[in-house]
Structure 1
Amino acid sequence: MGGEERSEKTRRVVFVTVGTTCFDALVRAMDSENVKKELLAKGYTHLLIQMGRGSYVPTKSEGEGSLSVDHFTFSSSIADHLRSASLVISHAGSGSIFETLRLRKPLIVVVNEDLMDNHQSELAEELANRKHLYCASPQTLHQTIADMDLNSLLPYTPGHATPVANHINRFLGFPDD
């Protein structure tokens, strides 16, 4: 059993997305040692952070026995990143949530508590209550990762919720995602 062969088979990527927003609290939480430690303990090997308009730049790292960390600001499409992820950690934007659930990827939604009138948290909390995803804040993220049991999540059956959610977002003056 060669080391290269084994590492290729066990590559487990955590993809983090903040969409087009600035959500430095999430990026900072992902860069914290306690979150990285919990991800390693759960068997994840790579952390890829899409940091959007934020100003906080996470620490890149590669190394044996530690989480490999990389980041970028924007991509024309995050679909490939979502497809290759073993776990997705996302802001509470409805587009990001439903795209991840449609791909049947395990998801932790982190609510941006700094937003006023954050209706997105209601969507995330409702989907968490239905056991389709986990919901956390930047402060509770490490504990959510430690406690999560991905086998307890139920698949989401796509309906026509995304157009409705986007309509509500536009009505309230929020971007679609």
Structure 2
Amino acid sequence: MEGGKRVVFVTVGTTCFDALVKAVDNPIVKQQLSAKGYSHLLIQIGRGSYIPIKSEGEDGCLVVDYFTFSSSIADNIRSASLVISHAGSGSIFETVRLGKPLIVVVNEDLMDNHQSELAEELAERKHLLCARPQTLYQTISDMNLDSLTPYPPADAQPAAKLINRFLGFPDD
């Protein structure tokens, strides 16, 4: 990043996930991110009611800012050095496809928590790190981003061939 600016982007998607916002707003979590070399924390709070504490980065602390919604978070993900996200499949796949290091924080308050299965499977395959709000500090403290493996790019060729065959076009 230019000028040593290393951004941690946090997203809760369109949901309310105050537990995640509170976890990243915790002074010891912010201190750990700063100790890991991050300089900025940008939090997308969605429908949540918890408002994080803004900071201008004085005294060597992180610069902290937040917003509720954006028409697209792709630019935020692209400019981030680290993404911390809820376990929504859209946010997960958008982040890993862009090759960004990702910590997925599972919302244990959801009734049908199929999202945790996706996050845990991708963590097992070493494409991301998985945490709970109460374990986020420890996950950041222990994280070794070099241990993550890139998510393989999707190959649309088999699907295109199948569609072409179905439509009666010859295979190339």
Q: Which has the larger radius of gyration?
A: 2
In the other structure, the counterpart of 2:132 is 137
> Can you list the C-alpha shifts for 1:34-58, whole angstroms capped at 9, x where unaligned?
1101101100000000000000000
Which deviates more from structure 2 when the two are superposed, residues 150-159 or residues 48-57? Answer: 150-159
Contact residue 85 and residue 103 of structure 2 kept, 8 A? yes
Tell me the secondary structure at the aligned position of residue 131 of structure 1.
coil
Instruction: Name the CA distance, whole Å, in 2 between partners of 1:111 and 1:73.
Output: 20
Q: TM-score if structure 2 supplies the norm length?
A: 0.87
| Cα offsets for 1:132-156 (capped at 9, x unmatched) | 0000000000000000000000000
Q: Secondary structure at the match of 1:139?
A: helix
Unpaired runs of 5+ residues, structure 1, are 1-6, 161-177
Residue 92 of structure 1 is matched in structure 2 by: 87
Question: Does 1:147 pair with 2:147?
Answer: no
Matched, 1:79 2:66: no
Whole-angstrom distance in 1 between the partners of 2:149 and 2:32: 22
* Paired residues, number: 154
RMSD: 1.2
Unaligned runs of 5+ in 2: 156-172
Q: Where do 4+ consecutive residues of structure 1 move more than 6 Å? A: none
TM norm structure 1: 0.85
User: 1:102 aligned to 90, 94, 97, which one?
Assistant: 97
